[in-house]
Structure 1
Amino acid sequence: MTWNTSQVRAEKVNIELWGYMEKGDPYSESWQGKWEYLYSLGRDQPNSGAFRFVPKTAGKPFSDWEVGCLRISPSTHPDGTWNVQAVWTDDHALAWHLEDKFRQDSAVWALDKCKAWDQLEETLPDFLSEMIDCPCTLAQARADTGRFHTDYGCDIEKGSVCTYHPGSVHCVRAIQASPKFAAGQQCCYDHTGAQVLTDDSIGGSTPDRAHDWGSPPFVKPPRVPGFSHWVYDVLSFYYCCLWSDNCHYYFKHRPSSDCRTYQAPKAGVVFGDPHFITFDGVSYSFNGKGEYTIMVSESKELTIQGRTEPVILTNGSMVKATKLSAVAMREGTSDIIEVRLGNPQDHLQVLQNQTSLSFSEQSWMDLKGVFVFSPNPTNVTVMFPSGAGVELRLRGGTMTTTVLLPEVFKDITGGLLGKMNGDPKDDLVTSDGQTESDQGNAEGLFNFGESWAILNESTLFTYDSEHLLNSYLHAPKHDASFRPVFSIPEDPNDPLDSQASELCSGEGSLYCRYDTLMARSLEMGNATRVSFQSHRSVVEDLEPVVSCGWLSPPTNGKKDGTRYLQGAVVKLSCDSGYLLWGSEEHTCLGTGQWSGETTTCVADNLRGIVVGSVIGALALILMIVTLVINSRQHKRETAASAVSDDGQDQISVVL
């Protein structure tokens, strides 16, 4: 083992083993979680950054500890001292110190452990019914950043080293744990973008009884971050799948969720100088100067506010256009997260309750009622328990802000991004309920935007400079004296005009030209173009997809195809010695149903019996039909004869 010597400020160190254990029913008061020092592997070792040891059988009671970490700490402290400066390894399975039985036959040992876990799972409550469903495609999974986050163990951006999900190229995890059992969802996808299911592959998507990142209150089972996940989900995968060939035990309790009930979120965006595209697709520009409500939902207690400042040219002069410079947000009683342009404006600054956060050592922070992810200085994603997500990207000196809302926000949103209900006609509604029906009326749109100026008593922003105090806190939240240029300045003699025409083409070209010519910057115009195209891609990725669900191969047969979305074709065939009855091909229809008849495989040596049975059944049916026809014919003849006799009698009487 090796470590960075500068992280342990001592000449000599102790190398200790610490273990974690949970016992009892994880959903009752009898549950106990223990994190303890076990024993030392080395004492008073030189702080050389390297240590070698040969694992030996730990014996009882240490062999009961199945997951833990190693710690390197200054040897000036007694063994097992808590709360000292030290270096820790990642948590891992402690197989290297287990009993002799593991060393003698690890597969048999692992199978025993797997069966014990299987029996435990049979006694625990079902958590699968409350799990969020997986996105149908890789594109959806990567776009739904409000509810799903990249699984660091299988990341397409980092080479797709998917140890626990072979055959997958990317996995995501549900950010929020399930409400009652604090369970986690994991969704994995192959190189075609299709979801991988455990019914088809050992590398399929697997739910977790314990969310990998835990769930508040963290001291209760099975909510301990990381370690509960190891106890209930990871070790069992080792026992059943990695260390023995008995994955059927594992997948019985951890089946993949398909996407038949998945509902993609809706996306709205603010970009450039600034331009808006609402959740229902209405595009417009609003160049007011001040602080405004980008989106609000009173019933969900979610508020997202934006600050706009005038665009400053490279020569220091101010133009009659603005750009988004800060976004502040909160849901319920969560921490207030503010993201703003840094100084210099080559990075984004993140504040938690008016205090700056640093992501230099870690990219992920689990704060009060909110998750924040910042993989680099120009990208920040904020996620709330409701499933709402806010993406902030620094492009060309401007801050592009995308808001993603799940279906639970339908009909309950307001603000500059409109009412999310699928109807674009009611998106441009002022804060007092008036509708701006003319989406081409620049003055009317300006008045609409002005109405969403926030109040000092409701502001979420930080005012930590003289400029912010004077320009925003002690000034009107909407600067009525600032009147922007509503139309694109056209000047055939302007050399930038032809360059803007060359850069800006296709859909969204008006926004690109406006920003290029107003800011006198091709870089800003290009940033607007990229942001517009990126939003269009997100909207396309989040389009609803029809899934027919997993299709099982017939008994004594197999299938060709593991895609289950609309238009997918799955072919079924039978093993040697069996004949196929029913449909050989099934197509996923737009109704969410598979086409064709049920497919079965019949043993070839039963063909004569089956054919004979069919012929016999047909003969029997034919015999029954013949008897019925003859019987009915006999009855008709008898009835006719009776009528004839009655007629003759009547005639006889008359004569």
Structure 2
Amino acid sequence: MFTHDLCDSNTVHSGKLDSQFKAILVNATKWQYYGTPNVGGTLEMTWNTSLVRAELVNIELWGYRETGEPYSDSWQGEWKYLYSLARGQPNSGSFSFLPQPAENGSSSWELGSVRVSPSTYPDGMWNVQAAWTEDHALAWHLEDRFRHNSAVWALDKCLAWDQLENQLPNFLSEIIDCPCTLAQARADTGRFHTDYGCDIEKGSVCTYHPGTVHCVRAIQASPRYAAGQQCCYDSTGVQVLTADSIGGSTPDRAHDWGSPPYKRPPRIPGQSHWVYDVLSFYYCCLWSDNCHYYFKHRRSSDCRRYQPPSTAVVFGDPHFITFDGVSYSFNGKGEYTLVMSAQKQLTIQGRTEPVNGTMINATKLSAVAMKEASSDVIEVRLVSGHHGLEVLQNQKTLSFTEQSWMDLHGVFVFSPTSTNVTVMFPTGAGVEVRLRGGTMTTTVLLPEEFNNSTIGLLGKMNGDARDDLVLSNGELVKNYSNPEEVFRFGASWGVSNDSALFTYDSEYLLDTYYHAPGHVDSFIPVFFVPESPDDPLANQASEICSGEGSEFCRYDILVGRSPIMGNATRVSFQSHISLVDDLQPVISCGWLPPPSNGKKEGTTYLQGAKVRFSCEDGYALKGSADRICQKNGQWSGEETSCVVSKKLHVQRKQ
């Protein structure tokens, strides 16, 4: 799944470079829980026989573990061949067996994978063509003590993990805070990505987060400890905390997707997360009833420090809404700077081409290219016929047929369909490209760290709309309603050949863009929408375009001559307005604990929320029974406690 070069004699992935293909664990949960109450019997796995070119195969178990002093040079990850489940097995595509406890000390390996490889190779030989199962907890091969009483065995493991965590550095203070609401979490695509195990779009049951409907994970690992963040939300759209529910958000000591340079724990993609965050959850929560140990070290982060990103968009043929909300149209032909931040070393460029060839004097976005610092250059462009989007990495096409996301050099790319691409950078900058009506809607999301550092067609991000349209020479546009003055602003941001990030892999691109100035002066667009009742598209424009932003929609229909494009522009405009609304800041007063010998009602901690306290029999409430989250981020009233009532106090004295 990861594209990094891990072929190093000291790295854990060397043994798994022999194949990217996976065998399938039939009923994977049974494999994971084997030996716990009511889970036993035969296990089965399947694979595509064409992936292992041999008549006979061996079925091998490999184990993974991490050894050495955590956060030191001695910390290493290791894959090791443990033993064979079968040899000389017909390559039939399936294998079943009745598990037995491992011998020769192999049961100490609690995480691993099963490999199907040609029988012509010796047992455990590295770097051969093979099919692997997913990494999983090796419950099915653990010692008899586990099977005799899995809860007692798991509690011992949980307590040992608890002691280890007490000795390790606290990573919670350096991870990013969670968004306060589900709307924010789904909108902040530059910094957070859907957790596939709890996805509202896929109808996930969120098995490990009961009571929630959707979770997201922070895309970037924390800077020092390479930790990960997870944020989960309930059906009302508010964050669920582990202090209130076992379904709450749980941060991770090791980011699930790893972190550069990927070669040492806790940065190993997938496996480090298993060792420090998943197996421990099995020990404390799934195989025994001791989740309080787990949540002591994996307590949820609230959202008091969370700051939503600012967003800007390019859509239609093309229209712009800046980070500070200025909307305008610029129909220049050429390649332009959309966003540039010297401070963050981020550059995002856009290419425009005439709508419908040379028949119409209007343009639309046809490609976006971007990079941050020394990252790979990612380009997203319309494919021939405008039926999909093509993604290029350093001028070479990327294929998303095997997987929907790739973690590349300094950039993360997600493309679930041929019409959707999201690009994410380590600073938290995100770029979403959506194909609508044959046009590219490009949304840029930037965290608050970009304030006062951006220039380009999407404006200066500083909360002040008055200085958004600034020419590349520093001159300020005085009249935003003058399309010719705005056009001069846009033209000034043409990209020179020596700074262009685009790919020129056809004669058309070479002649039209590479051997031409960044802005083509000879192309003069239509500035004003023609209003003619005799226009055959006039009625459609009136039917499709209404309300705020209708002038963009009308332009695309009456100038661009495309009702489809006009409708796509209407949808893109409305989507952006909804996105801006979803990303509005939310005030949180933070978690309130129930008083000792008391309880609370209410687990929402945002502005306007009320938390009510009460005491157990024999105790009297001191302080405020009701506390309300105020707009200043503070709880109303006084701290609540439950004190021994006079009646109970008298009884105790007697």
| 3-state DSSP of counterpart to 2:415 | strand
Give the Cα–Cα distance (whole angstroms) in 1 for the partners of residues 358 and 630 of structure 2: 60
Aligned residues: 608
Match of 1:168 among 212, 215, 218: 212
Give the Cα–Cα distance (whole angstroms) in 1 for the partners of residues 325 and 358 of structure 2: 34
| 3-state DSSP of counterpart to 1:117 | helix
1:61 aligns with 2:105: yes
Could you tell me which residue of structure 2 aligns to residue 202 of structure 1?
246
Give the 5 Å matches for 1:352-363. 352-363=393-404
Match of 2:188 among 135, 138, 144: 144
Q: Is the 8 A contact 1:147 1:387 kept in 2?
A: yes
Note the C-alpha offset of 1:161: 2.6
Could you tell me which residue of structure 1 aligns to residue 310 of structure 2?
266
Could you tell me which residue of structure 1 aligns to residue 286 of structure 2?
242
1:473 aligns with 2:517: no
Give the 5 Å matches for 1:606-621. 606=647
1:44 aligns with 2:88: yes
Give the 5 Å matches for 1:66-105. 66-105=110-149
Note the C-alpha offset of 1:163: 2.2
Question: After the TM superposition, which of the residue ranges 475-484 and 321-330 deviates more from structure 2?
Answer: 475-484
Note the C-alpha offset of 1:229: 0.4
Give the Cα–Cα distance (whole angstroms) in 2 for the partners of residues 3 and 574 of structure 1: 58
Give the Cα–Cα distance (whole angstroms) in 2 for the partners of residues 317 and 295 of structure 1: 28
**Gaps (5+ residues) in structure 1?**
613-655
Map Cα deviations across residues 517-549 of structure 1 (whole Å, 9 max, x no partner): 122211100100000000011100100000000
Note the C-alpha offset of 1:82: 1.5
Equivalent position amino acid for 1:346 in 2: H
Distance 1:41 1:31, change over 3 A: same
Equivalent position amino acid for 2:610 in 1: V
Equivalent position amino acid for 1:529 in 2: R
**Gaps (5+ residues) in structure 2?**
1-44
Could you tell me which residue of structure 1 aligns to residue 556 of structure 2?
515
Could you tell me which residue of structure 1 aligns to residue 488 of structure 2?
447
Could you tell me which residue of structure 2 aligns to residue 564 of structure 1?
605
Note the C-alpha offset of 1:220: 1.8
Note the C-alpha offset of 1:477: 1.3
TM-score by length of 2: 0.91
Q: Is the 8 A contact 2:187 2:579 kept in 1?
A: yes
Give the Cα–Cα distance (whole angstroms) in 1 for the partners of residues 647 and 50 of structure 2: 75
1:255 aligns with 2:299: yes
Note the C-alpha offset of 1:586: 1.1
Give the Cα–Cα distance (whole angstroms) in 1 for the partners of residues 593 and 393 of structure 2: 50
Give the 5 Å matches for 1:204-243. 204-243=248-287
Q: Is the 8 A contact 1:396 1:527 kept in 2?
A: yes
Could you tell me which residue of structure 2 aligns to residue 433 of structure 1?
474
Question: After the TM superposition, which of the residue ranges 113-122 and 17-26 deviates more from structure 2?
Answer: 17-26
Match of 1:116 among 152, 160, 172: 160
Could you tell me which residue of structure 1 aligns to residue 39 of structure 2?
none
Give the Cα–Cα distance (whole angstroms) in 2 for the partners of residues 545 and 435 of structure 1: 33
Could you tell me which residue of structure 2 aligns to residue 7 of structure 1?
51
Match of 1:134 among 175, 178, 192: 178
Could you tell me which residue of structure 1 aligns to residue 373 of structure 2?
332
Give the Cα–Cα distance (whole angstroms) in 2 for the partners of residues 333 and 403 of structure 1: 20
| 3-state DSSP of counterpart to 2:97 | coil
Distance 1:78 1:493, change over 3 A: same
Give the Cα–Cα distance (whole angstroms) in 2 for the partners of residues 119 and 130 of structure 1: 22
Equivalent position amino acid for 1:52 in 2: S
Q: Is the 8 A contact 2:618 2:648 kept in 1?
A: no
Could you tell me which residue of structure 2 aligns to residue 628 of structure 1?
none
Equivalent position amino acid for 2:625 in 1: E
1:501 aligns with 2:542: yes
Matched-pair identity in %: 73
Note the C-alpha offset of 1:601: 2.0
1:347 aligns with 2:391: no
Give the Cα–Cα distance (whole angstroms) in 2 for the partners of residues 420 and 474 of structure 1: 33
Match of 1:549 among 590, 601, 604: 590
Equivalent position amino acid for 2:301 in 1: S
| 3-state DSSP of counterpart to 1:171 | strand
Note the C-alpha offset of 1:498: 1.4
Could you tell me which residue of structure 2 aligns to residue 377 of structure 1?
418
Equivalent position amino acid for 2:126 in 1: W
Note the C-alpha offset of 1:609: 5.2
Map Cα deviations across residues 76-111 of structure 1 (whole Å, 9 max, x no partner): 222112222211111111111111110111001000
Question: After the TM superposition, which of the residue ranges 563-572 and 75-84 deviates more from structure 2?
Answer: 75-84
Note the C-alpha offset of 1:579: 2.8
Distance 1:436 1:317, change over 3 A: closer
Give the Cα–Cα distance (whole angstroms) in 2 for the partners of residues 493 and 527 of structure 1: 24
Q: Is the 8 A contact 1:341 1:349 kept in 2?
A: yes
Give the Cα–Cα distance (whole angstroms) in 2 for the partners of residues 453 and 157 of structure 1: 40
Note the C-alpha offset of 1:175: 0.6
Give the Cα–Cα distance (whole angstroms) in 2 for the partners of residues 275 and 578 of structure 1: 64
Please say which structure displays the higher CA radius of gyration: 1
| 3-state DSSP of counterpart to 1:495 | coil
Q: Is the 8 A contact 2:57 2:91 kept in 1?
A: yes
Match of 1:537 among 578, 583, 586: 578
Q: Is the 8 A contact 2:362 2:559 kept in 1?
A: yes
Question: After the TM superposition, which of the residue ranges 332-341 and 25-34 deviates more from structure 2?
Answer: 25-34
Give the Cα–Cα distance (whole angstroms) in 1 for the partners of residues 420 and 126 of structure 2: 37
Q: Is the 8 A contact 2:65 2:79 kept in 1?
A: yes
| 3-state DSSP of counterpart to 2:86 | strand
| 3-state DSSP of counterpart to 1:515 | helix
RMSD over aligned CA atoms reads: 1.3
Give the Cα–Cα distance (whole angstroms) in 2 for the partners of residues 294 and 533 of structure 1: 21
Q: Is the 8 A contact 1:197 1:256 kept in 2?
A: yes
Note the C-alpha offset of 1:72: 1.2
Could you tell me which residue of structure 2 aligns to residue 320 of structure 1?
361
Q: Is the 8 A contact 1:59 1:98 kept in 2?
A: no
Give the 5 Å matches for 1:284-303. 284-303=328-347
Distance 1:586 1:70, change over 3 A: same
Q: Is the 8 A contact 2:618 2:647 kept in 1?
A: no
Give the 5 Å matches for 1:149-160. 149-160=193-204
Map Cα deviations across residues 444-469 of structure 1 (whole Å, 9 max, x no partner): 00000000001100010000011100
Question: After the TM superposition, which of the residue ranges 539-548 and 9-18 deviates more from structure 2?
Answer: 9-18
